[in-house]
Chain A
Amino acid sequence: MLSKRIIVCLDVRERKTTKGVKFQGNVDIGDPVTMGEQYYHEGVDELVFYDITASAEERPIDIEMVKEVASRIFIPFSVGGGIRSLDDMRQVLLAGAEKVSVNSLAVRNPQIIREGARAFGNQCIVLGMDALCVEKSSSIPSGYEVVVKGGRERTGFDALAWAQRAEALGAGEICLNSIDADGTKEGYELTVTSRIAEAVGIPVIASGGAGTPEHLRQVLTEGKADAALIASMVHYGEYSIAEIKEHLAQSGLRIRL
């Protein structure tokens, strides 16, 4: 039986792990490779390195960092932010990443999912998606709209329909971030997560809102997610990977200990 996965996300800016803090902008909290290595030794199942400035500043992804991660960390990791083309995907995968994550690029050009899946295999392509709870309408029948640029820009895409379309195009996995829950530490958005997880046949990673191990249990059971993404709850030492996994295992979830 497959284990539920715990994935740590490291937001990277100029080779530093960074964390957005309300009203303060971004605060650097460490070296991403060192932090990733530490989580690897603590037993995390997967890592995500997300270059938060590569997209906005149109800088290429830091391939040297990806290579360094690959040489020190022997679990799957994905790289997102700043993927602009099939060639970027190739570079990141050849540098040793298991997967690449596309978000706004796929909104602008959905065919990149198909092209990436054909060239590298479905399992390499993760669709990252930010969903915002909105009023139901004929164009957004699910009541969840895909947004980009950290929620500042609406796309007119229905989140549920977009997830299904991405699967049809060849995405191997969906990382679903709830803009409403993100940063609240009050728990994942279970409704949108379970609706999307049930609507697609590919794994769904839940993101946004984790504050306690119990939140992970909720999203991995009621929320029907296959994996849970966490960041600040471990970055600041509030919880360790082991504590979180222990809680989930004691709740009867299948976990890699």
Chain B
Amino acid sequence: MSAAVAILDYGAGNLTSVACAIRHLGREPLVTQDPAEVRAAGRVIFPGVGAAGAAMENLRRLQLDRAIQDVFESGRAVLGICVGYQVVLERSEEDQGTDCLGILNGTVKRFRFAQGIVRKIPHMGWNEVNFQNRHPVFRDLPEKSQFYFVHSYYPVPDDAALIQGTAVYGGVRFAAAIAYRNLAAVQFHPEKSGRPGLRILENFLSWRP
């Protein structure tokens, strides 16, 4: 096992900003599509922008789906971001229903608002995340910190005990941050969320689950 921080490149969008943020924090990330390099990495960031269907397709084609499972099972730290969080659950409503990795039990749902509530989709912009406890990845964040979100679907893990932070949009409270064993995952983009976002990434880089 190397000390490398691998950023999974599976054609899901812009990895540059994640790589820039890691570099800013003093580490040189390894952006890779190679399952062997992912398996050998010390910790893995699983980013994602785009649709769940395309993300799963690319992960399978590049055989990164098994590599993520293996890294998770090996106990090394994994951080899922946005779609990289959603696809660790079992299933997403996106793209007429997409089977996902199923590392955690749960589903990904489309935002639906109660009658009379009109909100734009995607949920795009800065929103407050209310962190419940002091998980190592989510510590030292100022109260009422806001983070940058861009998504039309939201994750619903079966086990509410995994939830580390929640956000509310259009009356829907959802699991904006979760952690389970050596996996932490966030629906927002820490790499685009200014200081508190960088804090989470820094915490992740020193996390020893």
List chain A positions with a Cβ less than 8 A from chain B. 1-3, 5, 40, 43, 45, 67, 70-72, 74-76, 93-98, 120-123, 172-173, 201-203, 226-227, 256
| A74–B192 touching, CB < 8 Å | yes
| A74–B193 touching, CB < 8 Å | yes
| A2–B126 touching, CB < 8 Å | yes
| B21–A122 touching, CB < 8 Å | no
Give the residue of A75, A173, A227 whose beta carbon is less than 8 angstroms from that of B192.
A75
What are 25 A-B pairs at a CB distance below 8 A? Answer: A1-B128, A1-B168, A2-B119, A2-B123, A3-B125, A3-B127, A3-B146, A5-B125, A5-B126, A45-B126, A70-B16, A70-B20, A74-B191, A74-B192, A75-B192, A75-B193, A76-B148, A96-B16, A98-B192, A121-B13, A121-B51, A123-B124, A172-B122, A202-B120, A256-B126
| A1–B197 touching, CB < 8 Å | no
List chain B positions with a Cβ less than 8 A from chain A. 13-14, 16-17, 20-21, 23-24, 49-51, 119-128, 146, 148, 150, 168-169, 191-194, 197-198
Q: How far is the CB of A69 from chain B (nearest CB, A)?
A: 9
| B122–A123 touching, CB < 8 Å | yes
Most buried by B among A67, A71, A95: A71
Q: How far is the CB of A40 from chain B (nearest CB, A)?
A: 7
Known A71-B24, A123-B150; contact A172-B14, beta-carbon cutoff 8 A: no
| A1–B127 touching, CB < 8 Å | yes
Most buried by B among A1, A40, A74, A203: A74
| A3–B20 touching, CB < 8 Å | no
User: Which A residue's beta carbon lies closest to that of B50?
Assistant: A121
In Å, the complex CA distance between A45 and B146 comes to 10
In Å, the complex CA distance between A201 and B126 comes to 18
| A74–B126 touching, CB < 8 Å | no
| A96–B14 touching, CB < 8 Å | yes
Chain A residues within an 8 Å CB radius of B125 = 2-3, 5, 45, 203, 226-227
| A203–B50 touching, CB < 8 Å | no
User: Which A residue's beta carbon lies closest to that of B49?
Assistant: A121
Known A70-B20, A121-B49; contact A94-B14, beta-carbon cutoff 8 A: yes
Q: How far is the CB of A180 from chain B (nearest CB, A)?
A: 26
Give the residue of A3, A72, A95, A173 whose beta carbon is less than 8 angstroms from that of B16.
A95
Chain B residues within an 8 Å CB radius of A227 = 125
Known A2-B169, A74-B193, A95-B16; contact A122-B126, beta-carbon cutoff 8 A: no
Known pairs A3-B146, A121-B50 / 5 extra A-B pairs, C-beta < 8 Å: A67-B16, A70-B17, A74-B21, A75-B193, A122-B122
In Å, the complex CA distance between A202 and B119 comes to 9
User: Which B residue's beta carbon lies closest to that of A94?
Assistant: B16
User: Which A residue's beta carbon lies closest to that of B125?
Assistant: A2
Chain A residues within an 8 Å CB radius of B122 = 122-123, 172
In Å, the complex CA distance between A2 and B169 comes to 7
In Å, the complex CA distance between A93 and B191 comes to 15
In Å, the complex CA distance between A40 and B169 comes to 25
Counting from the closest, the 6 A-B pairs by CB-CB distance are: A96-B16, A3-B126, A256-B146, A256-B126, A123-B150, A71-B20
Known A3-B125, A96-B14; contact A74-B120, beta-carbon cutoff 8 A: no
In Å, the complex CA distance between A201 and B120 comes to 5
User: Which A residue's beta carbon lies closest to that of B171?
Assistant: A1
